[in-house]
Amino acid sequence: MGIPIARIFGIEIRMQLGWVVVLALVAVVAVGQLTQIDPELEMLAAWFLGGIVALGFFASSVSHDLAHAIVARRRGVEVRSIAVSFFGGATPLDPSSPDPGDDAVIAAAGPIASIIIAGLLFALMLAAGGIGGEAFTAAAGVLAVLVFLNLILGVVNLVPAYPLDGGRIVRDLAWRRSGSERSGWRAAGRSGRFTGLVVIGVGVTFLVAEGDITGAMIALTGWFFVLSANTVRDRVRLDDLVGDHVVRDAMDEAMATVSPSLTVDTFAAQLLDGETSLTAVPVVEGDSIVGVLGAAQVRRIRRTEWANTRVEAVMAKPPKVTFLAPTDSLKQGLERVFRASLDGLPVLEDGKLIGMLTKRGVSRFIGQRAAAANGPTPPAA
């Protein structure tokens, strides 16, 4: 998920391409704010400073997500990489803990880090403003915008609506109190829906009173919270269907493997065939599994290049590829598949490959469970 751009404290930092648009918008907003602070500021200098603000905001966002990862490590959670999110929000690479108390601390670490950064920048802003002079006045203006952005990043993420950190904290607190993760998710869904409706009301009121587009943007934000709450509700239903099942119940038995020296066309057509359950195959060299070739990897290659591309050139490799045990919780196994951003992961028993847990296989299993829960369809009258 995202493009690797750096490694800090041994943690790989990944950035989504959408950040290009976000940083451009931040730069535009910064230019507007800086010219209001100093109307005599030349436009070229304003755009230069706006670029600095955009880069500073990105660094702040990295610090926000890195705080989650560092605290997670201190709580015993393995973190190999993180994806820098837009103004917070959950991503498949977010570090989390199976202990609700630890997870609440991990969730709170990001907003706290952003608020602390805002405080430090505010002190620097006061110092720069106190010195005076054209250069220090410009620096104070840049710092003022960054203070505002970090406060937004910290405070907004404490709003009790998933996928924001505040919604995650609500889930963890309810989970810890009740002892049921399902109850935690239900509390997060209710909190997010209520928050979304309140925000929609505020946005509509502002739009009617002021006739400003800001009101529409606030209302859209509230609608996003409501949609996210519906996603949480669907997750609870999914958990009910998965229940206490294990990976063995939903895995595809290992029927085929592929060598890293073969060309992609050996399995490409089968992996992309929506009629079969085969969406990922283990790549085996000797007695070792060296990777996974999935539909996602094949789609990145032009069909005309299939016959010229070897599997080893495009396959997903460890540490991205991890191994599941047949007795692992199906829910946790599926989460690991999504975290790896792969179509499936190998299932090993006593070091021997026995199957693949794939997204499509789990989807088929859930469909069968849902059909069984709903009972047979009554005959037409």
The span from the CA of 357 to the CA of 308, in Å, is 29
The pairing of beta strand 288-294 with beta strand 280-285: antiparallel
The span from the CA of 108 to the CA of 164, in Å, is 10
pTM above 0.85, yes or no: no
Which tokens sit at 207?
A: 């739009």
**H-only helix segments in the chain:** 19-37, 43-74, 100-131, 134-156, 165-178, 181-210, 213-242, 247-250, 268-272, 295-299, 311-314, 330-339, 359-374
Q: pLDDT below 50 — which residues of the chain? A: 377, 380-381
Residue-level pLDDT at 134: 63
How many other CB atoms sit within 10 Å of the CB of residue 213? Answer: 9
For the chain, the maximum distance between any two Cα atoms, rounded to a whole number of angstroms, is 86
Q: What pLDDT digit, counting tens, does each position of 135-166 carry?
A: 666 778 788 888 988 998 899 899 999 888 99
Residue-level pLDDT at 106: 93
Residue-level pLDDT at 112: 95
The secondary structure of 315-337, three-state, reads CECCCCCCCECCCCEHHHHHHHH
Residue-level pLDDT at 109: 93
Q: Is 92 helix (H, G, I), strand (E, B) or coil?
A: coil
| Burial class of residue 36, CB neighbours in 10 A (0-12, 13-18, 19+) | exposed
Q: What sign does the CA torsion over 142, 147, 149, 150 have?
A: positive
The span from the CA of 282 to the CA of 291, in Å, is 6
